[in-house]
């Protein structure tokens, strides 16, 4: 019920017209993983985007493009094990290990330290991003439509199943975020029927560092952030410490025509 992967749509993906670099890397236990990366010639930051529980990286292509073009970020997203082209079967420990491997690849590719990468997570990916930030630090943490813990979400929808006792997949972000003292930007729709905004507020209240919570009026779980949020995100990125590259910046390809595809979070 938690993980809802789909195969990568090879028949719908035109590599010759895509601005993204397809990347292959390996998780700590040897599981082969797949992702998408796009650099920016005048990057304001390097970001790792952890996506939600349905679909694969192809269904996040538009979100990746907005982060790259609208916010001038060199950005990578990746598929957890079992999603898209990534091998294996998803589990809590597995997807967290996959995120660490993705961040390591991104740091090496861009020439920045892992702790200088901006971590971004939406929905399920918020739990993944919080784990990375809490354990290793981050230049900044950006969360959207995420939760305090998976059992909290399950208790909202299925309270009679006593999920706080029975669930093995927990992603207890509320507990972990207490160890992250860096800047946090968190957003949530006030009409989210999948993850109630109250659960997002629990997570936000537990964060000890500088933070800002943005309410997206009328937005449900999969609705996009509005322009007001985009402006706040720009301000957040501008407020972060200057990014120092350990090596020269990566070459940015000539951008080709890119058409928007349906986005799943």
Do 34 and 87 meet the contact criterion of CB atoms below 8 Å apart?
no
Distance from C-alpha of 15 to C-alpha of 179, rounded to nearest angstrom:
41
Q: Which of 239, 228, 246 is nearest to 184 (CA)?
A: 239
Task: Kindly indicate the confidence band of residue 256, based on its pLDDT and cuts at 50, 70 and 90.
Answer: very low
Residue 29: phi, psi to the nearest 5?
Answer: -95, 10
**Spatial distance between the Cα atoms of 244 and 52, rounded to a whole number of angstroms:** 29
Of 101, 10, 111, the closest CA to residue 50 belongs to 101
Is the domain 4-239 a CATH 3.60.10.10 member?
Answer: no
42-to-93, 142, 219 alpha-carbon distances in Å: 35, 21, 32
How does the average pLDDT of the chain come out, rounded? 90
> Cα-Cα-Cα-Cα dihedral of 63, 172, 25, 257, to 10°?
0
- In the annotation, is 51 catalytic? no
Alpha helices in the chain (DSSP H): 61-69, 92-110, 124-136, 150-157, 163-166, 173-176, 197-206, 227-239
In the DSSP assignment, the letter for residue 246 is S
**pTM as predicted:** 0.90
Give me the residue label for tokens 């800047």.
183
Q: Which of 44, 9, 26, 5 is nearest to 249 (CA)?
A: 44
CA 91 from chain centre, in angstroms, equals 17
pLDDT one-digit tens code per residue, 21-77:
999 999 999 999 999 999 999 999 999 999 999 889 999 999 999 999 999 999 999
CA separation for the pair 28, 258 (Å, rounded): 33
Q: How far is CA 246 from CA 31, 144, 263, in A?
A: 28, 30, 34
pLDDT digits (tens, 9 = 90+) for 220-229: 999 989 999 9
Residues 94 and 33: beta-carbon distance below 8 Å: no
Q: Which residues contact 26 (CB under 8 A, 6 or more apart)?
A: 32, 33, 101
- Catalytic option among 43, 63, 123, 148: 123
Strands 21-26 vs 32-38: parallel, antiparallel or unpaired? antiparallel
pLDDT the model gives residue 104: 98
Q: What is the pLDDT of residue 157?
A: 73
Please indicate whether residue 40 is annotated as part of the active site: no
pLDDT for res 220? 96
């Amino acid at each position: 019920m938690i993980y809802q992967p789909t195969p990568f749509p090879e028949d719908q993906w035109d590599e010759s017209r895509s601005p993204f670099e397809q990347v292959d890397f390996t998780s700590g236990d040897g599981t082969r993983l797949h992702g998408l990366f796009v650099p920016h010639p005048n990057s304001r930051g390097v970001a790792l985007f952890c996506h939600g529980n349905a679909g694969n990286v192809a269904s996040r292509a538009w979100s990746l493009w907005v982060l790259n073009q609208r916010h001038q970020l060199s950005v990578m997203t990746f598929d957890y094990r079992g999603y898209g082209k990534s091998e294996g079967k998803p589990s809590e420990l597995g997807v967290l290990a996959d995120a660490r491997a993705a961040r390591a690849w991104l740091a090496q590719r861009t020439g920045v330290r892992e702790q200088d990468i901006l971590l971004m997570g939406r929905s399920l990916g918020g739990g993944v991003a919080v784990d990375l930030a809490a354990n290793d630090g981050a230049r900044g943490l950006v969360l959207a439509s995420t939760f305090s813990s998976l059992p909290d979400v399950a208790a909202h929808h299925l309270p009679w199943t006593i999920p706080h006792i029975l669930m093995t997949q927990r992603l207890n972000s509320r507990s972990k975020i207490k160890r992250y003292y860096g800047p946090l930007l968190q957003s949530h729709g006030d009409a989210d029927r999948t993850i109630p905004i109250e659960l997002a507020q629990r997570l936000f209240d537990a964060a000890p560092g500088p933070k800002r919570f943005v309410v997206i009026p009328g937005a449900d779980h999969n609705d996009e952030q509005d322009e007001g949020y985009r402006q706040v995100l720009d301000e957040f990125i501008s407020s972060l410490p200057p990014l120092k590259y350990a090596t020269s910046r990566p070459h940015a390809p000539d951008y080709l025509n890119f058409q928007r595809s349906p986005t799943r979070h």
